Amino acid sequence: MAFDTLTKPIFDSGPAPLSLGPGRGASTERPAVAGGFAAIGPAALPRPHDGWVARRWVALRGVRPGLVLAGLFLGLLVFAAIRPSLLVSGDPLEASAREAFRVPGAGHPLGTDENGRDVLTRVVYGVRPSLLMGFAATAIGLGVGAAIGLLAGLGPRLVDSVLMRGIDVLLAFPDLLLALVIITFWGQGTFNAIVAVGVASVPRYARLSRRRSPSDCVARPSSPATSCRTRSNRC
């Protein structure tokens, strides 16, 4: 009896059994306990009167860390493209033979190249032309490719056959090789590089837009208006 009296407050701690009403007995279920603390329920969440900061904190707790880091990295890229001088100091084109092939250190966090130019400065200042070339080349490839694919999908069958056979020929060449061929004929330069990369990506966008066009269920000009000539079972 003495042992039960001493151990009861330790092993039998908690609220009294809940009564479910006359004739229903008492419930022996107790609230979940983890690590000595009761589980957090709806009552512990912030209410509208708890403040804007508390509600925002609860909303941000469900955001994945990887998504936050990706957003911060994209924001840093945009900031570097707009104002690179606020991130690094110095001229990316300034060369010094004495500073060539310096190892990373306090003065040069990423070292220097063969001409003694700071690598970090050149990387930061290279964000703007890199983003410009990427977006411009993608816009050219997407615009021209989508136009060719829609023209082939909605036009007459002769136009479809001619355009798609030409796209098949371009798809036989790797994108990099096709871009190098264009640069060889047109010459070097930023504009020529943008056009070359954009034209090299046109066949893939054209094939994709042709595949997604509703041509298989639309009567073509060369076919009767009352018939639906298709080459698939999607009609």
> What confidence score (pLDDT) does residue 9 get?
46
> What confidence score (pLDDT) does residue 214 get?
65
Q: Average per-residue pLDDT in the chain?
A: 77
**Cα–Cα distance measured from residue 209 to residue 150, given in angstroms and rounded to the nearest whole number:** 6
pLDDT above 70 for 170: yes
The residue with greater pLDDT, 89 or 56, is 89
**Cα–Cα distance measured from residue 123 to residue 107, given in angstroms and rounded to the nearest whole number:** 15
- Per-residue pLDDT, averaged over 77-95, amounts to 92
> Which has the minimum average pLDDT: 3-7, 49-53, 62-66?
3-7
- Per-residue pLDDT, averaged over 2-30, amounts to 48
Q: Is the pTM of this model over 0.85?
A: no
pLDDT above 70 for 233: no
- Per-residue pLDDT, averaged over 104-133, amounts to 93
Cβ pair 219, 225 in contact under 8 A: yes
**Cα–Cα distance measured from residue 85 to residue 124, given in angstroms and rounded to the nearest whole number:** 9
The residue with greater pLDDT, 30 or 73, is 73
- Per-residue pLDDT, averaged over 23-40, amounts to 48
> What confidence score (pLDDT) does residue 63 get?
77
